[in-house]
Structure 1
Amino acid sequence: MDEAPENKRVKGTGAKFAYDTIRYEILALTLAPGALLDETSLAERFVMSRSPVREALIKLAGEGLVVTLANRSTIVAPIDVTSFPKYVEALDIAQRMNTRLAAQLRTEADLKAIARRQKQFETAVRSGGHLAMSEANKLFHMAIAEAGKNPYLTSFYARLLDQGRRMLHLHFQYLERGQDGILLTDEHAQMYEAIYARDIDRADALAHAHTRQFSANFMAYLQENHSAAMPLGGPKLA
Protein backbone atom coordinates (compact mmCIF):
# COMPACT_ATOMS: atom_id res chain seq x y z
CA MET A 1 0.00 0.00 0.00
CA ASP A 2 1.02 3.63 -0.09
CA GLU A 3 3.43 4.21 2.74
CA ALA A 4 3.43 7.28 4.91
CA PRO A 5 6.44 9.44 3.92
CA GLU A 6 9.34 9.14 6.31
CA ASN A 7 9.94 12.17 8.48
CA LYS A 8 13.09 13.21 6.63
CA ARG A 9 13.88 14.70 3.26
CA VAL A 10 16.71 15.70 0.96
CA LYS A 11 17.42 19.41 0.67
CA GLY A 12 15.34 21.00 -2.06
CA THR A 13 12.56 18.40 -1.91
CA GLY A 14 10.33 20.25 0.54
CA ALA A 15 7.38 20.63 -1.83
CA LYS A 16 7.44 16.94 -2.72
CA PHE A 17 7.67 15.92 0.92
CA ALA A 18 4.74 18.16 1.84
CA TYR A 19 2.73 16.93 -1.15
CA ASP A 20 3.41 13.24 -0.43
CA THR A 21 2.60 13.59 3.27
CA ILE A 22 -0.60 15.62 2.87
CA ARG A 23 -1.79 13.44 -0.01
CA TYR A 24 -1.23 10.26 1.98
CA GLU A 25 -3.11 11.66 4.99
CA ILE A 26 -6.03 12.80 2.81
CA LEU A 27 -6.34 9.45 1.04
CA ALA A 28 -5.97 7.55 4.33
CA LEU A 29 -8.69 9.82 5.83
CA THR A 30 -6.28 10.89 8.58
CA LEU A 31 -7.17 14.37 7.35
CA ALA A 32 -10.95 14.36 7.33
CA PRO A 33 -13.00 15.80 4.45
CA GLY A 34 -13.50 19.51 5.09
CA ALA A 35 -10.49 19.82 7.42
CA LEU A 36 -8.74 23.18 7.28
CA LEU A 37 -5.22 23.14 5.80
CA ASP A 38 -3.40 26.14 7.22
CA GLU A 39 -0.17 26.94 5.37
CA THR A 40 1.54 28.39 8.43
CA SER A 41 0.71 25.42 10.65
CA LEU A 42 1.79 22.95 7.97
CA ALA A 43 5.04 24.85 7.39
CA GLU A 44 5.78 24.71 11.11
CA ARG A 45 4.95 21.03 11.24
CA PHE A 46 7.22 20.19 8.29
CA VAL A 47 9.93 22.66 9.39
CA MET A 48 9.98 24.53 6.09
CA SER A 49 8.85 27.83 4.62
CA ARG A 50 5.30 28.38 3.39
CA SER A 51 6.31 28.39 -0.30
CA PRO A 52 6.79 24.60 -0.70
CA VAL A 53 3.61 23.99 1.31
CA ARG A 54 1.71 26.35 -1.01
CA GLU A 55 3.18 24.55 -4.03
CA ALA A 56 2.05 21.21 -2.61
CA LEU A 57 -1.47 22.50 -1.99
CA ILE A 58 -1.72 23.86 -5.54
CA LYS A 59 -0.76 20.45 -6.91
CA LEU A 60 -3.29 18.72 -4.64
CA ALA A 61 -5.96 21.18 -5.79
CA GLY A 62 -5.24 20.14 -9.38
CA GLU A 63 -5.99 16.55 -8.37
CA GLY A 64 -9.23 17.56 -6.70
CA LEU A 65 -8.05 16.55 -3.24
CA VAL A 66 -8.12 20.05 -1.73
CA VAL A 67 -10.33 23.06 -2.37
CA THR A 68 -9.49 26.76 -2.10
CA LEU A 69 -12.43 28.76 -0.73
CA ALA A 70 -13.49 32.30 -1.58
CA ASN A 71 -11.70 33.61 1.52
CA ARG A 72 -8.49 31.96 0.18
CA SER A 73 -8.38 29.34 2.93
CA THR A 74 -7.79 25.75 1.85
CA ILE A 75 -9.66 22.67 3.02
CA VAL A 76 -9.57 18.95 2.31
CA ALA A 77 -12.08 18.35 -0.49
CA PRO A 78 -15.39 17.02 0.83
CA ILE A 79 -16.57 13.61 -0.37
CA ASP A 80 -19.43 14.58 -2.67
CA VAL A 81 -21.96 11.83 -2.15
CA THR A 82 -24.44 13.48 -4.52
CA SER A 83 -22.03 12.96 -7.44
CA PHE A 84 -21.45 9.29 -6.57
CA PRO A 85 -23.83 7.93 -9.27
CA LYS A 86 -21.90 9.83 -11.97
CA TYR A 87 -18.60 8.63 -10.52
CA VAL A 88 -19.77 5.01 -10.59
CA GLU A 89 -21.00 5.47 -14.17
CA ALA A 90 -17.55 6.63 -15.31
CA LEU A 91 -15.78 3.95 -13.24
CA ASP A 92 -17.97 1.24 -14.75
CA ILE A 93 -17.21 2.31 -18.32
CA ALA A 94 -13.45 2.51 -17.70
CA GLN A 95 -13.35 -0.76 -15.78
CA ARG A 96 -15.31 -2.64 -18.43
CA MET A 97 -13.31 -1.26 -21.37
CA ASN A 98 -9.95 -1.97 -19.77
CA THR A 99 -10.97 -5.49 -18.79
CA ARG A 100 -12.36 -6.22 -22.27
CA LEU A 101 -9.13 -5.03 -23.88
CA ALA A 102 -7.06 -7.08 -21.44
CA ALA A 103 -8.98 -10.22 -22.40
CA GLN A 104 -8.33 -9.46 -26.06
CA LEU A 105 -4.71 -8.31 -25.95
CA ARG A 106 -3.04 -9.79 -22.85
CA THR A 107 0.36 -11.43 -23.11
CA GLU A 108 1.88 -14.09 -20.91
CA ALA A 109 3.81 -11.36 -19.11
CA ASP A 110 0.55 -9.51 -18.46
CA LEU A 111 -1.03 -12.65 -17.02
CA LYS A 112 1.89 -13.09 -14.64
CA ALA A 113 1.62 -9.45 -13.53
CA ILE A 114 -2.13 -9.74 -12.91
CA ALA A 115 -1.68 -13.01 -11.01
CA ARG A 116 1.06 -11.47 -8.87
CA ARG A 117 -1.15 -8.50 -7.98
CA GLN A 118 -4.02 -10.86 -7.17
CA LYS A 119 -1.82 -12.77 -4.72
CA GLN A 120 -0.85 -9.48 -3.10
CA PHE A 121 -4.52 -8.62 -2.71
CA GLU A 122 -5.26 -12.01 -1.14
CA THR A 123 -2.41 -11.41 1.32
CA ALA A 124 -3.84 -7.99 2.21
CA VAL A 125 -7.27 -9.53 2.83
CA ARG A 126 -5.82 -12.22 5.09
CA SER A 127 -3.66 -9.80 7.07
CA GLY A 128 -6.47 -7.25 7.45
CA GLY A 129 -6.32 -3.48 7.13
CA HIS A 130 -8.58 -1.62 4.75
CA LEU A 131 -5.82 0.69 3.51
CA ALA A 132 -3.68 -2.25 2.41
CA MET A 133 -6.71 -3.88 0.77
CA SER A 134 -7.57 -0.69 -1.07
CA GLU A 135 -4.05 -0.18 -2.42
CA ALA A 136 -3.68 -3.83 -3.44
CA ASN A 137 -7.04 -3.67 -5.19
CA LYS A 138 -5.92 -0.65 -7.20
CA LEU A 139 -2.69 -2.36 -8.26
CA PHE A 140 -4.64 -5.45 -9.40
CA HIS A 141 -6.96 -3.38 -11.58
CA MET A 142 -4.11 -1.28 -12.96
CA ALA A 143 -2.31 -4.49 -13.99
CA ILE A 144 -5.44 -5.38 -15.96
CA ALA A 145 -5.58 -1.89 -17.50
CA GLU A 146 -1.94 -2.10 -18.56
CA ALA A 147 -2.68 -5.44 -20.22
CA GLY A 148 -5.26 -3.61 -22.34
CA LYS A 149 -2.50 -1.65 -24.08
CA ASN A 150 -4.41 1.65 -24.27
CA PRO A 151 -2.46 4.32 -22.35
CA TYR A 152 -5.31 6.84 -22.59
CA LEU A 153 -7.81 4.49 -20.97
CA THR A 154 -5.19 3.39 -18.44
CA SER A 155 -4.48 7.00 -17.45
CA PHE A 156 -8.19 7.84 -17.20
CA TYR A 157 -8.82 4.75 -15.09
CA ALA A 158 -5.92 5.54 -12.75
CA ARG A 159 -7.24 9.06 -12.22
CA LEU A 160 -10.72 7.74 -11.47
CA LEU A 161 -9.35 5.29 -8.93
CA ASP A 162 -7.35 8.05 -7.27
CA GLN A 163 -10.28 10.46 -7.24
CA GLY A 164 -12.45 7.83 -5.60
CA ARG A 165 -9.74 6.47 -3.29
CA ARG A 166 -11.36 7.81 -0.13
CA MET A 167 -14.68 6.22 -1.08
CA LEU A 168 -12.84 3.01 -1.87
CA HIS A 169 -11.14 3.15 1.55
CA LEU A 170 -14.53 3.49 3.24
CA HIS A 171 -15.79 0.61 1.09
CA PHE A 172 -12.92 -1.64 2.16
CA GLN A 173 -13.32 -0.56 5.77
CA TYR A 174 -16.93 -1.73 5.51
CA LEU A 175 -15.87 -5.05 3.96
CA GLU A 176 -13.17 -5.56 6.57
CA ARG A 177 -15.69 -5.08 9.36
CA GLY A 178 -18.10 -7.53 7.74
CA GLN A 179 -15.39 -10.02 6.75
CA ASP A 180 -16.53 -9.88 3.10
CA GLY A 181 -13.09 -9.36 1.61
CA ILE A 182 -12.99 -13.01 0.54
CA LEU A 183 -15.83 -12.25 -1.90
CA LEU A 184 -13.55 -9.82 -3.73
CA THR A 185 -10.75 -12.37 -4.00
CA ASP A 186 -13.24 -14.69 -5.75
CA GLU A 187 -14.35 -11.90 -8.10
CA HIS A 188 -10.73 -11.06 -8.93
CA ALA A 189 -9.96 -14.72 -9.59
CA GLN A 190 -12.93 -14.95 -11.97
CA MET A 191 -11.78 -11.83 -13.82
CA TYR A 192 -8.30 -13.29 -14.17
CA GLU A 193 -9.75 -16.55 -15.52
CA ALA A 194 -11.82 -14.69 -18.13
CA ILE A 195 -8.79 -12.67 -19.23
CA TYR A 196 -6.67 -15.84 -19.35
CA ALA A 197 -9.31 -17.55 -21.51
CA ARG A 198 -9.64 -14.47 -23.77
CA ASP A 199 -13.36 -14.51 -22.98
CA ILE A 200 -14.11 -10.86 -23.76
CA ASP A 201 -17.83 -10.93 -23.01
CA ARG A 202 -17.37 -12.68 -19.66
CA ALA A 203 -14.57 -10.30 -18.71
CA ASP A 204 -16.90 -7.38 -19.50
CA ALA A 205 -19.77 -8.86 -17.46
CA LEU A 206 -17.52 -9.56 -14.47
CA ALA A 207 -16.05 -6.04 -14.54
CA HIS A 208 -19.57 -4.60 -14.59
CA ALA A 209 -20.67 -6.81 -11.69
CA HIS A 210 -17.55 -5.75 -9.78
CA THR A 211 -18.50 -2.09 -10.11
CA ARG A 212 -22.06 -2.80 -9.01
CA GLN A 213 -20.75 -4.64 -5.97
CA PHE A 214 -18.62 -1.61 -4.99
CA SER A 215 -21.58 0.71 -5.49
CA ALA A 216 -23.93 -1.42 -3.40
CA ASN A 217 -21.43 -1.80 -0.55
CA PHE A 218 -20.59 1.90 -0.47
CA MET A 219 -24.25 2.84 -0.31
CA ALA A 220 -24.74 0.28 2.48
CA TYR A 221 -21.82 1.86 4.34
CA LEU A 222 -23.39 5.31 4.03
CA GLN A 223 -26.79 4.13 5.17
CA GLU A 224 -25.24 2.39 8.15
CA ASN A 225 -22.96 5.22 9.22
CA HIS A 226 -24.21 8.52 7.80
CA SER A 227 -27.88 8.16 7.00
CA ALA A 228 -28.78 11.16 9.11
CA ALA A 229 -25.93 13.38 7.98
CA MET A 230 -25.33 12.72 4.29
CA PRO A 231 -27.68 12.86 1.30
CA LEU A 232 -28.11 9.42 -0.16
CA GLY A 233 -28.69 8.50 -3.75
CA GLY A 234 -27.10 6.06 -6.08
CA PRO A 235 -27.39 4.24 -9.35
CA LYS A 236 -30.25 1.82 -9.64
CA LEU A 237 -28.91 -1.68 -9.65
CA ALA A 238 -30.67 -4.17 -11.83
Structure 2
Amino acid sequence: MRTTAPDKPKRESSTRVTRGAGAKHVYETLRQEILTLQLAPGVPLDETSLAERFVMSRSPIREALVRLSADGLVDMLSNRSTLVAPVKLEEFPRYVEALDFLQRINTRLAAKNRTDEDLSTMTRLALAFEDACDAEDHFLISATNRDFHTAIAAAGRNPYLAKAYERLLDDGRRILHLHIDYVRQSDKNNLLTQAHFDLIEAISAQDVNLADRLAHEHSKQFHDGFRRFLKAEYTQDFEFELE
Protein backbone atom coordinates (compact mmCIF):
# COMPACT_ATOMS: atom_id res chain seq x y z
CA MET A 1 0.00 0.00 0.00
CA ARG A 2 1.32 3.41 -0.95
CA THR A 3 1.23 6.18 1.62
CA THR A 4 2.52 9.72 1.83
CA ALA A 5 6.02 9.78 3.24
CA PRO A 6 5.72 10.69 6.93
CA ASP A 7 7.73 13.41 8.56
CA LYS A 8 10.69 12.05 10.46
CA PRO A 9 9.81 11.96 14.18
CA LYS A 10 11.70 14.57 16.13
CA ARG A 11 14.13 13.65 18.83
CA GLU A 12 12.57 13.94 22.25
CA SER A 13 13.68 16.54 24.75
CA SER A 14 16.80 15.68 26.66
CA THR A 15 14.75 15.85 29.85
CA ARG A 16 14.47 12.27 30.94
CA VAL A 17 11.17 10.83 32.07
CA THR A 18 11.16 8.82 35.28
CA ARG A 19 12.17 5.20 34.92
CA GLY A 20 8.71 3.82 35.67
CA ALA A 21 7.06 6.11 33.14
CA GLY A 22 9.60 5.58 30.38
CA ALA A 23 8.02 2.59 28.67
CA LYS A 24 4.56 4.12 29.02
CA HIS A 25 5.72 7.37 27.40
CA VAL A 26 7.34 5.54 24.48
CA TYR A 27 4.32 3.28 24.05
CA GLU A 28 1.81 6.15 23.98
CA THR A 29 3.94 8.26 21.62
CA LEU A 30 4.56 5.46 19.12
CA ARG A 31 0.97 4.27 19.36
CA GLN A 32 -0.34 7.70 18.39
CA GLU A 33 2.15 7.95 15.52
CA ILE A 34 1.16 4.50 14.22
CA LEU A 35 -2.58 5.10 14.52
CA THR A 36 -2.34 8.42 12.67
CA LEU A 37 -0.03 6.88 10.02
CA GLN A 38 2.81 9.25 10.89
CA LEU A 39 4.68 5.96 11.17
CA ALA A 40 3.58 4.21 7.99
CA PRO A 41 2.84 0.47 7.75
CA GLY A 42 6.04 -1.52 7.20
CA VAL A 43 8.39 1.12 8.64
CA PRO A 44 11.18 -0.51 10.73
CA LEU A 45 11.45 0.43 14.39
CA ASP A 46 15.05 0.16 15.47
CA GLU A 47 15.57 -0.07 19.23
CA THR A 48 18.88 1.76 19.14
CA SER A 49 17.48 4.67 17.14
CA LEU A 50 14.42 4.86 19.36
CA ALA A 51 16.59 4.81 22.49
CA GLU A 52 18.51 7.77 21.06
CA ARG A 53 15.33 9.59 20.13
CA PHE A 54 13.69 9.17 23.54
CA VAL A 55 16.97 9.59 25.45
CA MET A 56 16.66 6.39 27.44
CA SER A 57 18.01 2.86 27.56
CA ARG A 58 16.76 0.09 25.28
CA SER A 59 14.89 -1.74 28.07
CA PRO A 60 11.85 0.59 28.21
CA ILE A 61 11.93 0.78 24.39
CA ARG A 62 11.71 -2.99 24.21
CA GLU A 63 8.90 -3.05 26.77
CA ALA A 64 6.93 -0.48 24.76
CA LEU A 65 7.40 -2.47 21.55
CA VAL A 66 6.15 -5.63 23.25
CA ARG A 67 2.99 -3.77 24.31
CA LEU A 68 2.50 -2.45 20.78
CA SER A 69 2.92 -5.99 19.48
CA ALA A 70 0.20 -7.18 21.85
CA ASP A 71 -2.04 -4.44 20.40
CA GLY A 72 -1.35 -5.74 16.90
CA LEU A 73 0.32 -2.47 15.88
CA VAL A 74 3.85 -3.80 15.33
CA ASP A 75 5.29 -7.11 14.15
CA MET A 76 8.28 -8.43 16.07
CA LEU A 77 10.15 -10.75 13.73
CA SER A 78 12.30 -13.75 14.55
CA ASN A 79 15.49 -11.89 13.62
CA ARG A 80 14.70 -9.41 16.43
CA SER A 81 13.71 -6.63 14.02
CA THR A 82 10.41 -4.83 14.51
CA LEU A 83 8.15 -3.33 11.85
CA VAL A 84 4.98 -1.27 12.01
CA ALA A 85 2.24 -3.80 11.27
CA PRO A 86 0.74 -3.65 7.76
CA VAL A 87 -2.83 -2.58 7.07
CA LYS A 88 -4.18 -5.72 5.42
CA LEU A 89 -6.72 -4.37 2.95
CA GLU A 90 -7.44 -7.85 1.63
CA GLU A 91 -8.93 -8.71 5.03
CA PHE A 92 -11.23 -5.67 5.10
CA PRO A 93 -14.44 -7.61 4.21
CA ARG A 94 -13.85 -10.08 7.06
CA TYR A 95 -12.98 -7.22 9.39
CA VAL A 96 -16.24 -5.40 8.67
CA GLU A 97 -18.17 -8.64 9.04
CA ALA A 98 -16.79 -9.10 12.55
CA LEU A 99 -17.17 -5.40 13.39
CA ASP A 100 -20.82 -5.40 12.34
CA PHE A 101 -21.63 -8.46 14.43
CA LEU A 102 -19.96 -7.15 17.59
CA GLN A 103 -21.29 -3.63 17.07
CA ARG A 104 -24.84 -4.91 16.79
CA ILE A 105 -24.74 -7.34 19.73
CA ASN A 106 -23.07 -4.83 22.06
CA THR A 107 -25.53 -2.12 21.07
CA ARG A 108 -28.49 -4.47 21.58
CA LEU A 109 -27.21 -5.33 25.06
CA ALA A 110 -26.69 -1.64 25.84
CA ALA A 111 -30.32 -0.91 24.93
CA LYS A 112 -31.37 -3.66 27.30
CA ASN A 113 -29.07 -2.95 30.25
CA ARG A 114 -28.10 0.75 30.14
CA THR A 115 -28.27 3.01 33.17
CA ASP A 116 -28.74 6.78 33.36
CA GLU A 117 -25.02 7.08 34.10
CA ASP A 118 -24.23 5.12 30.92
CA LEU A 119 -26.39 7.50 28.88
CA SER A 120 -24.61 10.51 30.36
CA THR A 121 -21.24 9.02 29.44
CA MET A 122 -22.37 8.28 25.88
CA THR A 123 -23.71 11.82 25.45
CA ARG A 124 -20.48 13.36 26.75
CA LEU A 125 -18.41 11.27 24.36
CA ALA A 126 -20.72 11.94 21.40
CA LEU A 127 -20.25 15.66 22.02
CA ALA A 128 -16.48 15.16 22.27
CA PHE A 129 -16.54 13.38 18.91
CA GLU A 130 -18.53 16.26 17.42
CA ASP A 131 -15.99 18.77 18.77
CA ALA A 132 -13.11 16.71 17.33
CA CYS A 133 -14.82 16.73 13.92
CA ASP A 134 -15.30 20.50 14.09
CA ALA A 135 -11.63 20.92 15.00
CA GLU A 136 -10.60 18.52 12.20
CA ASP A 137 -8.30 16.77 14.67
CA HIS A 138 -7.88 13.36 13.06
CA PHE A 139 -6.39 11.62 16.09
CA LEU A 140 -9.15 12.90 18.36
CA ILE A 141 -11.81 11.94 15.81
CA SER A 142 -10.72 8.32 15.83
CA ALA A 143 -10.06 8.32 19.60
CA THR A 144 -13.44 9.79 20.58
CA ASN A 145 -15.25 7.57 18.11
CA ARG A 146 -13.58 4.56 19.71
CA ASP A 147 -14.39 5.82 23.22
CA PHE A 148 -18.05 6.42 22.32
CA HIS A 149 -18.56 2.88 21.05
CA THR A 150 -16.57 1.48 23.98
CA ALA A 151 -19.02 3.22 26.31
CA ILE A 152 -21.90 1.51 24.50
CA ALA A 153 -20.18 -1.85 24.96
CA ALA A 154 -19.63 -1.16 28.67
CA ALA A 155 -23.34 -0.43 29.03
CA GLY A 156 -24.08 -3.89 27.64
CA ARG A 157 -22.56 -5.50 30.73
CA ASN A 158 -20.84 -8.34 28.87
CA PRO A 159 -17.08 -7.85 29.34
CA TYR A 160 -16.15 -10.63 26.90
CA LEU A 161 -18.10 -9.16 23.99
CA ALA A 162 -16.98 -5.66 24.99
CA LYS A 163 -13.28 -6.61 25.00
CA ALA A 164 -13.51 -8.23 21.56
CA TYR A 165 -15.33 -5.17 20.22
CA GLU A 166 -12.77 -2.76 21.68
CA ARG A 167 -9.96 -4.65 19.93
CA LEU A 168 -11.76 -4.38 16.60
CA LEU A 169 -12.34 -0.67 17.14
CA ASP A 170 -8.63 -0.18 17.77
CA ASP A 171 -7.75 -2.28 14.71
CA GLY A 172 -9.98 -0.06 12.57
CA ARG A 173 -8.50 3.28 13.58
CA ARG A 174 -5.77 3.21 10.93
CA ILE A 175 -8.36 2.34 8.28
CA LEU A 176 -10.39 5.34 9.42
CA HIS A 177 -7.31 7.58 9.17
CA LEU A 178 -6.67 6.39 5.64
CA HIS A 179 -9.94 7.83 4.36
CA ILE A 180 -10.98 10.39 6.94
CA ASP A 181 -10.24 13.38 4.70
CA TYR A 182 -12.21 11.84 1.86
CA VAL A 183 -15.18 11.20 4.15
CA ARG A 184 -15.11 14.74 5.52
CA GLN A 185 -15.01 16.29 2.05
CA SER A 186 -17.92 14.21 0.76
CA ASP A 187 -21.30 15.95 0.79
CA LYS A 188 -23.04 12.65 1.45
CA ASN A 189 -20.69 11.29 4.10
CA ASN A 190 -19.60 14.04 6.49
CA LEU A 191 -18.80 11.57 9.30
CA LEU A 192 -22.51 11.75 10.24
CA THR A 193 -22.06 12.82 13.86
CA GLN A 194 -25.87 12.72 14.20
CA ALA A 195 -25.68 8.92 13.95
CA HIS A 196 -24.15 8.76 17.44
CA PHE A 197 -27.01 10.76 18.94
CA ASP A 198 -29.53 8.56 17.13
CA LEU A 199 -27.91 5.53 18.75
CA ILE A 200 -28.14 7.19 22.17
CA GLU A 201 -31.86 7.87 21.66
CA ALA A 202 -32.57 4.25 20.74
CA ILE A 203 -30.53 2.96 23.69
CA SER A 204 -32.22 5.44 26.03
CA ALA A 205 -35.66 4.24 24.86
CA GLN A 206 -34.47 0.65 25.33
CA ASP A 207 -35.62 -0.06 21.79
CA VAL A 208 -33.44 -3.10 21.13
CA ASN A 209 -34.52 -3.60 17.51
CA LEU A 210 -34.00 0.05 16.56
CA ALA A 211 -30.60 0.07 18.29
CA ASP A 212 -29.66 -3.04 16.33
CA ARG A 213 -30.73 -1.49 13.02
CA LEU A 214 -28.87 1.76 13.67
CA ALA A 215 -25.73 -0.11 14.70
CA HIS A 216 -25.86 -2.09 11.45
CA GLU A 217 -26.35 1.11 9.44
CA HIS A 218 -23.34 2.60 11.24
CA SER A 219 -21.21 -0.40 10.19
CA LYS A 220 -22.45 -0.04 6.63
CA GLN A 221 -21.56 3.67 6.55
CA PHE A 222 -17.98 2.81 7.55
CA HIS A 223 -17.83 0.00 4.97
CA ASP A 224 -19.32 2.04 2.13
CA GLY A 225 -17.24 5.14 2.90
CA PHE A 226 -13.99 3.18 2.74
CA ARG A 227 -15.02 1.42 -0.47
CA ARG A 228 -15.81 4.77 -2.09
CA PHE A 229 -12.41 6.04 -1.00
CA LEU A 230 -10.68 3.07 -2.63
CA LYS A 231 -12.68 3.52 -5.82
CA ALA A 232 -12.39 7.31 -5.96
CA GLU A 233 -11.29 8.59 -9.33
CA TYR A 234 -8.89 11.52 -9.36
CA THR A 235 -8.85 12.06 -13.11
CA GLN A 236 -9.60 15.78 -13.38
CA ASP A 237 -5.91 16.65 -13.73
CA PHE A 238 -5.20 13.94 -16.30
CA GLU A 239 -7.41 14.83 -19.23
CA PHE A 240 -5.78 14.68 -22.62
CA GLU A 241 -7.15 15.59 -26.04
CA LEU A 242 -6.66 12.88 -28.59
CA GLU A 243 -5.82 13.94 -32.15
Provide the TM-score with structure 2 as the length reference. Answer: 0.84
Map of 1:87 onto structure 2: 95
CA deviation string 1:134-180 (max 9, x = no partner): 11111111111111111111111111111221112224332223366
Q: Is the 8 A contact 2:184 2:190 kept in 1?
A: no
Instruction: Letter of the 1:191 partner, please give it.
Output: L
In structure 2, stretches of 5+ residues that fail to align are 1-11, 235-243
Q: What's the CA shift for 1:183?
A: 5.1
In 1, distance between residues paired with 2:27 and 2:63? 8
Structure 1 residues 127-146: aligned runs within 5 Å? 127-146=135-154
Instruction: Letter of the 1:21 partner, please give it.
Output: T
SS at match of 1:93: helix
CA deviation string 1:101-128 (max 9, x = no partner): 1111111111111111111122222222
Larger mean CA deviation between 15-24 and 172-181 belongs to 172-181
Q: What's the CA shift for 1:181?
A: 6.3
In structure 1, stretches of 5+ residues that fail to align are 1-5, 227-238
Map of 1:120 onto structure 2: 128
Q: Is the 8 A contact 1:14 1:52 kept in 2?
A: yes
SS at match of 2:42: coil
Match of 1:223 among 201, 207, 231: 231
Structure 1 residues 1-238: aligned runs within 5 Å? 9-178=17-186, 182=190, 184-224=192-232
In 2, distance between residues paired with 1:131 and 1:102? 26
State the Cα RMSD in Å: 2.0
In 1, distance between residues paired with 2:35 and 2:104? 25
Instruction: Letter of the 1:45 partner, please give it.
Output: R
SS at match of 2:121: helix
Compared CA separation, residues 176 and 129, structure 1 to 2 (3 A)? farther
SS at match of 1:184: coil
Q: What's the CA shift for 1:187?
A: 1.3
In 2, distance between residues paired with 1:105 and 1:172? 32
Map of 2:237 onto structure 1: none
SS at match of 1:44: helix
Compared CA separation, residues 192 and 132, structure 1 to 2 (3 A)? same
Provide the TM-score with structure 1 as the length reference. Answer: 0.85
* Structure whose CA Rg is larger: 2
Q: What's the CA shift for 1:25?
A: 0.9
Higher RCO structure (Cα 8 Å, ≥6 apart): 1
Instruction: Letter of the 1:77 partner, please give it.
Output: A
Q: What's the CA shift for 1:211?
A: 0.3
SS at match of 2:75: strand
Aligned residues: 221
